[in-house]
Chains A and B, each alone.
Chain A
Amino acid sequence: MLKINNLQVSIADKRILNGLNLTVKAGEVHAIMGPNGSGKSTLSHVVAGREGYDITAGGITFNGKNLLELAPEERAGEGVFLAFQYPVEIPGVNNVYMLKAALNGLRKYRGQPELDAVDFLKLVKAKTKSVGIDDGLLNRPINTGFSGGEKKRNEVFQMSVLEPRLAILDETDSGLDIDALKAVGDGVNQLRNSDRSFVIVTHYQRLLDYIVPDFVHVLAGGRIVRSGDNSLALELEKRGYDWLKDETSTT
């Protein structure tokens, strides 16, 4: 499904990703862990198509399509969703109104008929219930005045409405209390199925108590330096990242 091959990325001549390889198959959940500054957020942004990064080598394909040639909205159309680490506030723009435009934008891209207001609201109602998001947030301006937890829940809510094929969660756990963490975990688990893949980018292991990954990768120095199953996450929790850094520098 997602294939990242020898990806090298720089920002303003500073190399951030340094030959990263990653393959995510349908239905898999991959966790990407790593210390601060290891390039985790860069990876999320580059896959989603954020401008401002120089891709100097390598490639990203998604279901055989070259993602790097597509605009962010086209990548979304292909089924890529990014849950943002810092969801941005957009004053005056109603949350649900935006979501309707987004869903219909995706449907248009896929050659599907647009949903009318009635069907859309039905969908929203169902998803509101399953994600457990406060109704009141739906009709507020996007993320405006939301607490940190509300913003992240809103991201999960949007994800559940847009039903992506690949969801990237960029440090969705940062700044969350246990209840919010659990809610985010529940939201993701409900969406897990054999067609949908997840890439969970996180600094800490604790989110992985709620979302158990199939694979865990450690990103350091712009490359994946170690891969394993969930037990790797637990080991990292105990030992930190330094031992891996030492290991990579010696190899």
Chain B
Amino acid sequence: MASQPKEITEFVTQKYEAGFYTDIEQDSVSPGLNMDVIEFISKKKGEPQWMLDWRLKAYTRWTNMIEPKWAHVKYPPINLQAISYYSAPKSQEDAPKSLDEVDPELLKTYEKLGIPLEEQKMLAGVAVDMVFDSVSVMTTFKEKLAEAGVIFCSFSEAVKNHPELVQRYLGSVVPVSDNYFAALNSAVFTDGSFVYIPKNIRCPMELSTYFRINAMNTGQFERTLIIADSGSHVSYLEGCTAPMRDENQLHAAVVELVALDNAEIKYSTVQNWYPGDENGVGGIYNFVTKRADCRGVNSKVSWTQVETGSAITWKYPSCVLKGNNSVGEFYSVALARSYQQADTGTKMVHLGENTRSTIISKGISADQGQNAYRGLVRIAKGAKNARNYTQCDSLLIGDRSGAHTFPYVEVKNKTAQVEHEASTSKISDDQLFYLRQRGISDEDAINMIVNGFCREVFKELPMEFAVEAQKLLSISLEGSIG
């Protein structure tokens, strides 16, 4: 099994040089959420007053909101007052001392993904005193970005060093009161990523949070803001194929993308959070708000996601197509097996003229997995000649899994063209027998059929990500056929 490209391996095994986070004392705040807690977080992070005010405004809005119940998922009520909203990076004392103390199942998965040993330790949260030989790769990487004028840093750093950009764009795509979980995130987010691509710059490399080791500790309420200035281009990779150790059950991230005139953002996600055990116990609740604002003319945003993890996924990466001729794309593979539940899809809101959107959604359900596609295509009154193409395919494995499709279409301009195609299929005995007769084992045959089903989405992923995604899907599906 091929491991990932050497470059990435090198990056992630580099010690992260000072930078992404400032010194914080090792402490945390007791569970519960109130204004004092928010002030505490803001103070701990050394934030300016405007940032605190923004958080408090979000908190006030949030207290007047109720948790949404419309998604096709079931889970026991979450007690948000039982969560600690600020905890310093985990003490190394609680961490496993060596890989021997790590869940062997997790290690097996790392092995199958071909993850190098040092990196396995990092992902599993092993307390290691890593000695790295050189920082040259990371330095080259930072130099290259700086040369191009690209800002890629932690959110906290951006608040300090680029307050004018943060103030101008933060919350301009996902307003604080947008929804319950987004408001919560706005009040208590701890960190995340910030990217700014200057005018007419093509970002010289694919940006990945994977490079940022400490991003793992900011997972629970992550905040990402990416701004592509006029004529710029960036490809951003989020997540990691390897399952990561994480004690936080609730994840409520917010991602905001802004594309100005002629700018293009490609945002790729591979999500593989802990899905819970085979009885459906544990697992991450992933309630994410992701939205892109195609603000400028001819701007383009493309979301590609491969979602195989989490007990519950509630996620609708969306595009608001404001600029004339702007383009929004959504390519998704979502897998739900065992007791996983996924309610995911997209919103394409056409406001500008000649705006175009494409939605390709592939849902795979195995065992008792429940997969729902929920998509909204809205063509506003002024959106002359808007086009949308939606293709929504479901693949069922076994006879206890479920696929659900909830497409919403609102058209207010009669020049619009909206197409929707949907299909539901099962892996047929005929297909399996055909491949097995040729000499392919049943597990490989299933992988082959599933990967074939997802091909249209995988081809949108950056090369190495696509290879990993395929591998991940195979591993996630292991044993799903009796």
Contact = CB atoms under 8 A, between A and B. Distances in A.
Given A93-B452, A103-B439, 15 more contacts: A48-B433, A52-B429, A71-B436, A73-B441, A76-B437, A77-B439, A81-B437, A84-B437, A86-B430, A88-B431, A90-B431, A90-B434, A91-B452, A99-B438, A105-B440
B444 interface: yes
A102 B439 contact: yes
A75 B436 CA distance: 9
Which of B431, B434, B451, B453 gathers the greatest number of chain A CB atoms within 10 Å? Answer: B434
8 contacts: A50-B433, A71-B442, A73-B441, A90-B452, A91-B453, A93-B451, A102-B440, A141-B452
Interface string B426-466: 00111101111111111010001101111110000000000
Interface residues of B, number: 23
Contacts of B444: 101, 105
Interface in A56-101: 71-73, 75-77, 81-82, 84, 86-88, 90-93, 98-99, 101
Q: What 4 pairs between A and B have smallest CB-CB spacing? A: A92-B452, A93-B452, A102-B438, A76-B439
A93 B431 CA distance: 11
Interface of B: 428-431, 433-442, 444, 448-449, 451-456
Interface string A137-149: 0000100000000
B448 A73 contact: no
Contacts of B453: 91-92
B437 to A, nearest CB: 5
Nearest to B445: A73
B436 A72 contact: yes
A111 B436 CA distance: 18
Contacts of B437: 48-49, 72-73, 75-76, 81-82, 84
Contact of A92 (B430, B434, B440, B451): B451
A51 B429 contact: yes
Interface in A3-44: none
A73 B431 contact: no
Contact of A162 (B439, B448, B452, B456): B439
A109 interface: yes
Contacts of B433: 48, 50-51, 72
A44 B256 CA distance: 59
Nearest to A86: B430
Nearest to A164: B439
Contacts of B439: 73, 76-77, 102-103, 105-106, 109, 162
A84 B434 contact: yes
A98 B438 contact: yes
Contacts of A75: 437
Nearest to A89: B431
B320 to A, nearest CB: 31
A162 to B, nearest CB: 7
A73 B436 contact: yes
A64 B129 CA distance: 60
Given A73-B441, A93-B448, A87 B436 contact: no
A158 interface: yes
Contacts of B434: 84, 87-88, 90
B428 A88 contact: yes
Contacts of B448: 90, 93, 98, 101
A220 B437 CA distance: 26
Contacts of B431: 88, 90
A90 B435 CA distance: 10
Contacts of A99: 438
Contacts of B438: 76, 98-99, 102, 105, 158, 162
Contacts of A48: 433, 437
A98 B440 contact: yes
B144 to A, nearest CB: 33
A106 to B, nearest CB: 4
Contacts of B449: 90, 93
A158 B373 CA distance: 38
Contacts of A106: 439
Contacts of A86: 430
Contacts of B429: 51-52
Contacts of A98: 435, 438, 440, 448
Contacts of B455: 92
B430 A76 contact: no
Which of A48, A81, A90, A91 gathers the greatest number of chain B CB atoms within 10 Å? Answer: A90
A87 B456 CA distance: 23
B335 to A, nearest CB: 16
B196 to A, nearest CB: 38
A180 to B, nearest CB: 20
A102 B448 CA distance: 11
A48 B430 CA distance: 13
Nearest to A97: B448
A84 B449 CA distance: 18
Contact of B436 (A76, A91, A92, A158): A76
Contacts of A103: 439
A87 B438 CA distance: 12
B451 A73 contact: no
A235 to B, nearest CB: 33
A73 B428 contact: no
A221 to B, nearest CB: 26
A105 B202 CA distance: 44
B277 to A, nearest CB: 30
A218 B3 CA distance: 56
Contact of B430 (A73, A88, A102, A105): A88
Contacts of B428: 88
A250 B413 CA distance: 78
B439 to A, nearest CB: 4
Nearest to A108: B439
A116 B299 CA distance: 43
A185 B55 CA distance: 77
A84 B434 CA distance: 8
Nearest to A79: B439
B169 to A, nearest CB: 39
Nearest to A81: B437
A49 B466 CA distance: 34
Contacts of B456: 92
A91 to B, nearest CB: 6
A87 B453 CA distance: 18
Nearest to B444: A101
B441 A92 contact: no
